[in-house]
């Protein structure tokens, strides 16, 4: 990150990462005004692993609706629908998703 900044990297508006705390800490230290978004690919895998196989296909579609929403408002609504839909069936999956809510919904 320091080499990139020294090479003239302008301040990126947002970084995307898989939740590795070391990388996020470096970005926050070197470019503190950059917003961070949690990458949906590993998060989706983590959430699906917390669900029974029979629910994973519909859950995948629901998660894609959150991450692929055109606006933050639509993403938030889809997020709430997911939490409500899967909360009683398998509470670990919504808890896994909720844990990174703020960084998942960075637009």
Full DSSP string of 18-76: -S-HHHHHHHHHHSTT-EEEE-HHHHHHHHHHTS-HHHHHHHHHHHHHHHT-SSHHHHH
The tokens describing 5, both together, are 């900044």
**pLDDT tens, N- to C-terminus, the chain (107 residues):** 778 778 887 777 777 777 766 777 777 787 777 788 888 999 999 999 999 999 999 999 999 999 999 999 999 999 999 999 999 989 999 999 999 999 899 88
Query: Cα–Cα distance between 22 and 19 in angstroms, integer?
Result: 9
pTM: 0.80
């Amino acid at each position: 990150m320091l080499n990139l900044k020294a090479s003239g990297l302008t301040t990126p508006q947002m970084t995307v990462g898989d939740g590795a705390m070391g990388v996020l800490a470096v970005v926050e230290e070197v470019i503190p005004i950059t917003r961070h978004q949690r990458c949906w690919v590993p998060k989706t895998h983590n959430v699906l692993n917390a669900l029974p196989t029979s629910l994973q296909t519909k859950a995948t579609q629901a998660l894609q609706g959150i991450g692929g929403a055109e606006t933050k408002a639509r993403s938030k609504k889809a997020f709430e629908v997911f939490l409500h839909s899967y909360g009683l069936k398998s509470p670990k999956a919504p808890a896994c998703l909720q844990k990174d809510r703020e960084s998942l919904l960075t637009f």
